[in-house]
Chain A
C-alpha cells in the first residue's frame, strides 16, 4: 500500500512532461505568432487571399499610397502611372509581389503584437500604419523616365540609408488588373521587384569592383599604362574592346571603360584576389537590405581560362549583380567606405520608432579605396560623360552596357551626387535599351534633378 501510494508521484512526472509541452507551445506562439497570425488564410486580415484590413501605407510626404476602408484596400487615386510606379514597393494585396510592403511587413501592417494579437485590426479595420522613405512623386518621374523600357531605378540617401525612390518595370495598375497579366509576355517579371529580386549582367559597372581590387592589390596601379589596340590577346583567346584607346593610364582606362586594360588587370590580379574583393563587398552572399531579402550577386571568375577571367573582370561572362546590393556599393564609395542598406521604412508605429530606425551597414569598403574610386568616378563624369549631362549635381558614376546573347544590350548606370547637400546615390537598369550612356544615365539624371529641385 505504502509503495503504491509513493508511486502516485508518477503523475508529477506526467505533469512535468505536460508543462514542458505547454512551455514549448507558448514559446512557439512567441516566436512564430506574428507569422502565423498574418498568414494569408487569416480571414481577419485577408479575404480570398487578398489584404482587406491593414494599416495605412504612406510616402515620406504623408501621401497615402494604400489604406483600408470598409473592408477594402484602396490605393492612391492620382493616376494609373502613379499606381504602377508604386506597385512593387507597396506590393499587391495578394502578396504575389513577395517583397512588397504589403507582404513583407504584413505583421506590422496587421498591428500584431503578442499581447493583443490583431485585436486593433479587428476593432478598427486597420492595423499599424507604415510610413515609407519613398517619395511617390519621384517614383512616378522615374517610371516615366524609363520610358518604354523594363528595368529598375533606385535612389538612396547614402548618408542615412533612406531609400527615396524605387521603381520596377513592367508594372500594372492594381485598380485595373490586365486580364492577360499572367499570359502576355510583355508582363514577364511583373511580379518581381527587380530592384531587390533582380539579377543583371552588370556590364562595365563591374569595372568598379575590378578597380577596387586593383587599388588594394597592385601598389603601383596609378603609374601603370595600358596599350589598347581594340583587342587584348590573353594567351588562350582574346578580349575585344569597345574602341581603340591607345596608351592610357588606370584612371583613363575607367573613363574610357577600356576592356583591354581591365582584362589585363583582371588577369594580373588573378581569380582569387578578384573574388576576394568581390566577396568582401558582398558578392556570393545572401544579403538583406534591412528586412528585405536580396537576390544574390554572383561573381565566379574563371580559374581555367584567362579569356573568361578577363571577361569576368569587365562585367560580362557569368557575373550577375543585384541592383540594391550595387546601390549599397555606391553608398560605400560615396560615404567614405560605409555603405548603408537602402531602407524603405521611415516609421512603423512601433516602440523602436521612438529612437528612429538605425542605419545598417550592408557594404564595408576600405576608406582609402573608397576615396580613390570616388575620385575616379567623378573623373568619369568630368572627363568622359560631361557635367552637362548632370547639371548642378557634381555627379560621380559609371555607365555599363551589358551584352546578352540574342538581345539588345542592357543599359546600366550607377553613380551618386558628391554634393554634401544632396547625398544621393542611384542605380538604374534599362533592359534592351542599348548604351549605358543612353537611357539609364538620362533617367538617373531626370530623377536626381527632381530631388535637386525639391530637396536641396
Chain B
C-alpha cells in the first residue's frame, strides 16, 4: 500500500522516457543490422519496426489496463529480448522471424500466467495438472527425444522443436509456490519433494545436468522461503552433494562432461573450444564492441544460443554485456520489492523462486562460457535464440509481475479484492 504512494510520487513521463531510451537503442541496433547489406532487407525493417511499434502499443495498453506506472519489468524484458532479436537478425532473417514469434509467444505466456494466477485459488487448483503434466511431458521427452549436443532434451515436431524442460521450469515454480503456500502439511511437502525428485531425475536421465541443477537450486530456494530453516536446507544440500559424488563415482562420464573446467586453455581445440573462443572474442570487442555482425564468435557452434553473451561482448562491447547482466540484477531487486508488497505468501514465494531461477540460470550460462563455473550448456534467458527458452523467461517474469502489481480488469473483481485485503492483514 506504501507502494502505490511511491508510484504516485513518480513523475508521469518516466515510462515514456524509458520507452524512448529503449527505442533509441533498438533503432541504433536496427540501423547497424539493416545497413550491413547493400540493399536493405524489407523483412528486417518490418521485424525491427514491428517490434518497436509493438513495445509502444503494449506500453499504452499496459497503462490503460493497470492505470499505473509499473513498467520496469517489461521494460527490462523488452530491452533484453531486443538484444536477442538483434543478434538473431545478424545471423539470418529466418532466425529473426522465429525469434520475433518467440517473443510474441513469450509475451502471451506472460499475460496468460499473470491473468490466471490473479486469483490465488486458481493457482492452487492448477498445481496438480501442472505437476502431472510436467512429469508426463518429461517422460514423453525421454521416450521420444533425439540427442542434441550430448543432452536428450529436445522434442522435434518437424516444423518446430521444443525443449520440454524449459516449459516445466514455469510449472515447477507454480507447483512449488502453490504447494507450500498451504500450511506446511506433511503430505503436501512430501508430494512436492517427490515431484521435484521426479523432475531432477528425468533431467539426469536426459543428461541435462545444467537444468537439473537449476531445478535443484529452485527447490532449495522455495524450501527456504517456506521454512526459513537453514539447517534443513544445509542437510538437503549435503545430501545432494553426496548424491552427486556417488553419481560421479559410478558414472564417470558425468565428470568427464566437466573435465574442461579451469583447463580450457590446455584443451583449446577440444573440450575448451567454446569457452576459449568466447574469452578471445569477447576481449577483442573491448568496451564498445567491433560492430554488430562484425564478430567472429558467431562462427562457433551454439553462438546464437549458449554463447550469445560472448557475441554481445564482441560485437556490442563488454559494456553492453555488463549492462545485460546488471539488468538481470534489477529483475531480482524488483522481485524482492514485489514479494514484500505481495498479497499472499504464494506470490512472494513464486516471485522469489522465479527471480532466483532466472539469475541462477544466467550465472550458469555467463560464468559457464567464461570458465568461472563449469560449462553446463544452459541458455541465457530472454536473449538466447529459441522459443522454449523465451517462453520460459517471460513465463517466469509473470510470477514477479503478479506479486508486484497484478493486472486488474477495469471493473475489479470483488472477490479478489477482498482476498487481497485478507492476505495483507495475515
Contacts and interface: CB of A to CB of B under 8 A. Distances in A.
B351 interface: yes
Interface string B352-370: 1001100110110011001
Nearest to A4: B345
A15 interface: yes
B333 A115 contact: no
- B contacts with A: majority SS: helix
B336 A12 contact: yes
Contact of B280 (A11, A22, A36): A36
Contact of B283 (A11, A14, A17, A117): A117
B176 interface: no
B329 A117 contact: no
Interface in A7-21: 7-12, 14-15, 17-19, 21
A110 to B, nearest CB: 9
Contacts of B345: 1, 4-5
B221 A29 contact: no
Contacts of B283: 29, 32-34, 36-37, 112, 117
Contacts of B342: 5
A3 interface: yes
Given A1-B344, A4-B348, A42-B280, A18 B363 contact: yes
B98 interface: no
Contacts of B276: 39, 41
A3 B229 CA distance: 12
Contacts of A3: 228
B285 interface: yes
Contact of A117 (B286, B299, B333): B286
Contacts of B282: 29, 36
A115 B286 contact: yes
Contacts of A215: none
B280 A37 contact: yes
A14 B329 CA distance: 9
B359 A18 contact: yes
B281 A24 contact: no
Interface string A275-314: 0000000000000000000000000000000000000000
Contact of B279 (A8, A11, A36, A44): A36
B424 to A, nearest CB: 9
A43 B296 contact: yes
Contacts of B333: 11-12, 15
Contacts of B356: 10-11, 14
Interface stretch (B118-126, B238-246, B287-295): B287-295
Contacts of A7: 224-225, 228, 352
Contacts of B322: 22, 26
B127 interface: no
A65 to B, nearest CB: 26
B367 A114 contact: no
A37 B284 contact: yes
B138 interface: no
Given A8-B339, A12-B336, A21 B367 contact: yes
B362 A18 contact: yes
A15 B327 CA distance: 11
Given A7-B225, A115-B287, 8 more contacts: A11-B339, A21-B366, A29-B282, A29-B318, A34-B283, A41-B276, A43-B296, A117-B289
Q: 6 nearest interchain CB pairs?
A: A117-B286, A8-B339, A33-B283, A4-B345, A37-B283, A36-B283
19 contacts: A4-B226, A4-B348, A5-B339, A7-B352, A8-B352, A10-B356, A11-B352, A14-B356, A25-B367, A25-B372, A28-B372, A32-B283, A33-B286, A34-B283, A36-B280, A44-B290, A114-B286, A117-B284, A119-B290
